[in-house]
Structure formats: C-alpha cells, structure tokens
Structure 1
C-alpha cells in the first residue's frame, strides 16, 4: 500500500501564512528558477520558455545559480535605501556608493548572460528565422522581462542574512550619525567596518533578533513561499531517476511539469499584483465605506483562487512523494535482478561441478518477490494518474490583471 503524502494542503497553507518552510532546503535549480521567472512573461514568451525546457534546448545560466542574482539584487536595493537616508555620514556614504557601483556592474554582467547569452539563442539571421518557425526563439524584450523576473527568484533566507533589512528606521539613522562621527575622526578603516556591519558582511555583522532559526527556510511573503515549494518539488520529481525510467513513460506524456510550474507561477504572480492594487485602492479611497466594501467583496471573490493554487501545488507534492516511493521499489527490484543474476551464475557453476542443485524454493520465493515489486509499481502508477489529473484544472481560470492570500 502506498503511504499517505507527508505534506497536506493545510500544511502548505500554514507555511505560506508564516512565510517559512521547515527543514534545510536546497536552492532551486536553474530550470526551476527560469520556469518561475517565466511567470512574468507574456503568455507567448512563457510558452517559448516552457517549450525550450521541455525539449532540453539551451537556456540561460549564471555561475552560482540564480539565487546569487537574487541576493545581489537585494544588496543593491538595501544599499540604495540606506543611501537615501538623511542621516548617513559622508565618509560611510562614500563606501556604500563604491559598493553599490560594483554591485550594479556585477548585475549588468549577469544581465548580459541572460539577455545575450552565448550559444543559447540563435545569433545569425537564418538561425533566428529557423527558431522563430519552430516557435522556440525568445525575443529580446521577453529576455529582459525574464531577467527582471529572475531577480525575484524564490531564495531561502535572502532577507535574514543581513541587518540592512531594517535599515532606514529612525534608530538606524541615528546610529549611523553617531558612528559616522567616530569614523570621520578615526579614518577610513572604521568607515569600511561600519559599512560591513550595515550590509551584514564580515565577522562583526550582528545577527538580527528573530532571524531565521537553523533548519528553516524563510521567505518574503506567502507568494514567494508557495513559488519555492512548487519549484522545490518540481526539482525533486524531474531529478528522480524513477520519473525518467520506462515505468513512468506513459505518465510523462500525460503531463508537462514544466508548463505546470510556469502556469502556477503566472497565477501566483497575478494574484500578488491584484492584491497590491486592491490594497492601494483601499488605502487611497478607503474613507468611502461603499468603496471599501466593494473592495472587500472582490477580495472574497478571489480568495478561492488561492485555495485552488494550494491544491495544485499539493498535487505536485504528492507526485514527488509517489515518485520517490517508487524509486525505492525500483532499487529493490534492481537488487532482486542482481540476486537473480547471482543465482544463474551459481546454477551454471553447480551444473558444471555436478555437486548439488539449486533450491527450487529459493527460485520460487525470488520470483514472488519480483512479482510483488512489479505489482507495487503498478499501484504507484495508478496513484500518479490521479495526482496528474489534479494538477491541471479541467477549466482554466482567467485571473484579473494581477492578488494575495490573506
């Protein structure tokens, strides 16, 4: 009997409400990051990224993975925010501006690796025409959007690694003024040290109160959390040898996991954008009771969409769970096959020596074990069939311009 999945929809909802996933989670692969970033593209551009990923065509990549790009973008935003503060002393501001310029140059280098990568997209006129006919050529403007989306790659603990996330407060500004006076009297090394503390680098960087505990992965909000969960379990499915085996060849033709992840990302991004617009409208015109009530009704109407997205992600989680369980069965079957090979070799050796005969009971027992393993795999295939049916809703739901959970 197949074990029940360890992650339920209620658990996923709780993780999103807390913007935290338990356990040490690896960063998303390049393919998962690109598919999630494709949610920021137009439907045509998103389909091209999905098609390239599904057919194993080259896709942009950077050294260290796209999580590094997300962290770099965070440093740039934090530094710009700090420089905009009125209390940053000049000697510290000079150090921060120097670092900001270096970070911007690094980001521009990474942008070129995504927008104009070598050996990824067609370069010559004839090759571009051929890729356009095959509908796999991503236009320059779509690549720019893809890079912008990659700067928002769901990355664990990107906000808990630096005290700068609280920069700009009155307390930080006052502290900056005091340390700036000390730095001005003492020289540039102290200013460099203060900049290190501001940016959260070096040994002197003090940890934030309430920072993410070890063994947890924290995120900006519930939307980023659900995107990471979807990408994480997508990686676990496609990276599992059992999914790529002949046993699940039929299931691989029934669902396009790349398209599922990209569409989930597009819907989550649309929900977030709609929620931001609703909150802005309510903040600007919430003094009108009738208008505020109308906005609340729209939020209530959209709320089931969030539940549907959580169900789709949970179905993907179940697929990963079943595939991983099937992988264990496949390893057991492989050991059975190995044992059968050993028995054959022993049988041949005994036949040549004529000393003894192999036990017929052992052979029958091994045969029964192999048949039991094959029956278990059939059960896994049936369970996968149901999970795949849950991934894509029968009637695609059209979202308004762009919303958030609670």
Structure 2
C-alpha cells in the first residue's frame, strides 16, 4: 500500500475507484470478478428462492455449471445490447444488415452458453430421487431458475475490454478490411506475395482501450464484488491467523445484501432518468432525499466492508512475513521449516494406520482376558 493510500480513508479510496471506473481513466482499479463473486452479485437481480439456493450451495462449496468463465458472457451481452441499440436507430440499411448478421452470431453463442448452464450436466441432480433429496437440503435449482440466474449473470458488471460495434459505414469498412487482412495472413502464399501483404499498413481495430462503466451504482457493484475476491485471497494467504474472522463473518450474505440494494438503486435511477450518477461518484442521486439517505447508508456499508477486508489483508501480510521469518531460521539451522509441506514416508503411513486401530486392539485384548477368566477363574 502506498503512502497516498495510507493517508486516505477507506471511503476516499472507494470514491476514487468509482470515479475512475465511471470515467474510464487509467488502469482499472478493480480486477475482473471471479465466477463466485459474479454469482453473488447476480443474486441482486433474481428472486429470493434462487438467492437462498445460491447461498446454500456456496456455503457448502458446491459448484455451479461452468461456461469457461462468466466474464465472456458479460462481454457478449454488452455487444448484443449495443447492436440492438444501433439497429433500432436510423442507421444506413447496409450497416444494419451487417449488424444483424453479427447479432445473430452473438445470440447463437449466448444461447449455447445458456443451454449448457441450464442443463447443469454433472452438477445438478437429474434423477427424481436425487432431486427430492437436494430440495430437502436446499441446494437444487429448477431448470427455469437456472435460466434466470444465467440471465442475471449476463447483466453483472465487467471491466474486460468489449469490442466496439461499428456505428458508421466507414467503421464497418475498417472492420471488414482488418478481417480480410488477418485472414490473408493465414493463407500460405508465395514469398513475393507475403512480402507485399506484410508491407500493407496496419489497419486500426475497432476496440475500446479503456472500459467505462456507465454509472456509479454499477461501478459500486464492481467495487464490492472485487472486495469479496480480495477477502477470499486474504483468507487463503492468512490461514489460521484469520480463521477467527472467517468463521464470524458471512461474506456471502454481506455481498448479496449490498448487491440487492445497489440493483434496486440502479433500477430506480433508470426509471427516473436521473443524471447525477452519470460521470462519477455523487452523494446526490437526483431522486429525492429518501433515496439519497438510502444511498448514503449503502456507501457506509461498502466502506465498512472495505475496512474489514483491508484489516484481513494486513493480518494476512503479517502472518506471511512471520512464516517466512520462521522458515528462514529453520533453513539456517538445517531443520525442516514448520511451514513446509509435510510429506509422510512409508513408516509414517504405517504408524498412522496402526494408531487408528489401537481401540480395536484394546477391546480385543480385554474380551479375551474376560473369557479366560470365565474358563479358568483360578488363574
């Protein structure tokens, strides 16, 4: 942590992160959400019964159907949204025709990923007996509910660069020329032709360099999702030093609560067409004092979450430094480090197996002595 970060409060750091994400300035302050964090953020967009199942499955470390990373679903959904908006606008017919072709391709990709998620092969039960058992445990999602959860996952925020959609015939021509140049580079040509192709000027890609999140509520969702990932990383690094915090704090429920509030605020802002949150963090929502007060409470909750995460990270750093110090002392004295990975040999495994059978041996010995006492009481 730099001196500038130490001088600022957790609230200042959150406000700075939200401003940076909304303006698309510099490097993204938050990494792309993990699949686990994305599931919890998506809970703000689905019914409570789905939320309960998601929370229970995560608490029991049960998996969800994977699509190779939910981030690619979010990128596809962003492009589909942009394509529909441009097609509905008064654009040239030739541009609309090309964009409809691209939209159909993205729709197909989306449906393939959605179908794989809703089938849940190898993850959710499919036999009647197993489905009933999972429902009693509260870990089964019906097919329709899996579809709703997938659609919510597609609406979670992303900091991944999303390829921009061509908005004019000139941009469409640039994309087509760039595609042709890339394909030409894959064809095996005579040496003279290869030299000519390589000498062609490089055509620009229609791609956004910096991802810009449209408003502060979505940016705050990205922020708290990133805090959850940082907390899990702190738990992993800190080990037993942070075990007490991990057992007392339900991070999953905390993120679900924040996500629900932020999604409601975002929906209200979209309905009211509020403009206060369009270019960075603001304490005013433009929707009246009641919403402003609720927004302030949500921000304070996120600040408290960040303070806890930073405390866990600090304790984890101390634990890692102490483990390194002890390992260095052990190494200097030629002994095994207490933090080193234990690899038992064959004798250790045999001793462990024999020790596990100590109770059986004791019971057998006592039973034989009692039987002998009945047969020969004089001895």
TM-score, normalization by structure 2: 0.69
Counterpart position of 2:314 = 325
1:101-120 Cα offsets, whole Å, 9 max, x none, are 11111000111122222112
Q: Judge conservation of contact 2:231–2:312 (CA < 8 Å) in 1.
A: yes
1:143-292 map, 5 Å: 143-156=146-159, 158=161, 161-162=163-164, 164=166, 167=167, 172=168, 176=169, 192-193=176-177, 203-205=203-205, 212=210, 218-242=212-236, 245-279=239-273
Indicate how the Cα distance of structure 1 residues 67 and 253 shifts in structure 2: closer, same or farther if over 3 A, else same: same
Counterpart position of 1:369 = none
Indicate how the Cα distance of structure 1 residues 330 and 10 shifts in structure 2: closer, same or farther if over 3 A, else same: closer
Q: 2:81 aligns with which of 77, 82, 86?
A: 77
Counterpart position of 1:120 = 123
Q: Judge conservation of contact 1:242–1:330 (CA < 8 Å) in 2.
A: no
Q: 1:45 aligns with which of 43, 47, 50?
A: 50
Number of residue pairs matched by the alignment: 297
Counterpart position of 2:366 = none
Indicate how the Cα distance of structure 1 residues 273 and 55 shifts in structure 2: closer, same or farther if over 3 A, else same: same
Counterpart position of 2:191 = none
Measure how far apart 1:323 and its partner are: 2.1
Counterpart position of 2:132 = 129
Indicate how the Cα distance of structure 1 residues 35 and 179 shifts in structure 2: closer, same or farther if over 3 A, else same: closer
Indicate how the Cα distance of structure 1 residues 70 and 207 shifts in structure 2: closer, same or farther if over 3 A, else same: closer
Indicate how the Cα distance of structure 1 residues 125 and 328 shifts in structure 2: closer, same or farther if over 3 A, else same: same
CA distance in structure 2 between the partners assigned to 1:226 and 1:262 by the alignment: 13
CA distance in structure 1 between the partners assigned to 2:54 and 2:9 by the alignment: 29
Measure how far apart 1:300 and its partner are: 0.8
Secondary structure in 2 matching 1:154: coil
CA distance in structure 2 between the partners assigned to 1:324 and 1:15 by the alignment: 18
Measure how far apart 1:79 and its partner are: 2.1
Measure how far apart 1:81 and its partner are: 2.6
Larger Rg belongs to: 2
Indicate how the Cα distance of structure 1 residues 179 and 233 shifts in structure 2: closer, same or farther if over 3 A, else same: closer
Measure how far apart 1:132 and its partner are: 0.6
Measure how far apart 1:20 and its partner are: 4.5
Indicate how the Cα distance of structure 1 residues 243 and 254 shifts in structure 2: closer, same or farther if over 3 A, else same: farther
Indicate how the Cα distance of structure 1 residues 243 and 255 shifts in structure 2: closer, same or farther if over 3 A, else same: farther
Indicate how the Cα distance of structure 1 residues 330 and 244 shifts in structure 2: closer, same or farther if over 3 A, else same: closer
Q: Judge conservation of contact 1:236–1:320 (CA < 8 Å) in 2.
A: yes
Measure how far apart 1:223 and its partner are: 1.1
CA distance in structure 2 between the partners assigned to 1:51 and 1:111 by the alignment: 22
Q: Judge conservation of contact 2:42–2:259 (CA < 8 Å) in 1.
A: yes
Q: Judge conservation of contact 1:95–1:192 (CA < 8 Å) in 2.
A: no
Measure how far apart 1:5 and its partner are: 8.1
Q: Judge conservation of contact 2:237–2:320 (CA < 8 Å) in 1.
A: no
CA distance in structure 1 between the partners assigned to 2:171 and 2:254 by the alignment: 51
CA distance in structure 1 between the partners assigned to 2:327 and 2:16 by the alignment: 45
RMSD: 3.2
Counterpart position of 2:67 = 62
Indicate how the Cα distance of structure 1 residues 29 and 112 shifts in structure 2: closer, same or farther if over 3 A, else same: same
Measure how far apart 1:244 and its partner are: 6.0
In the alignment, structure 2 segments of 5+ residues that lack a partner are 181-201, 275-284, 336-379
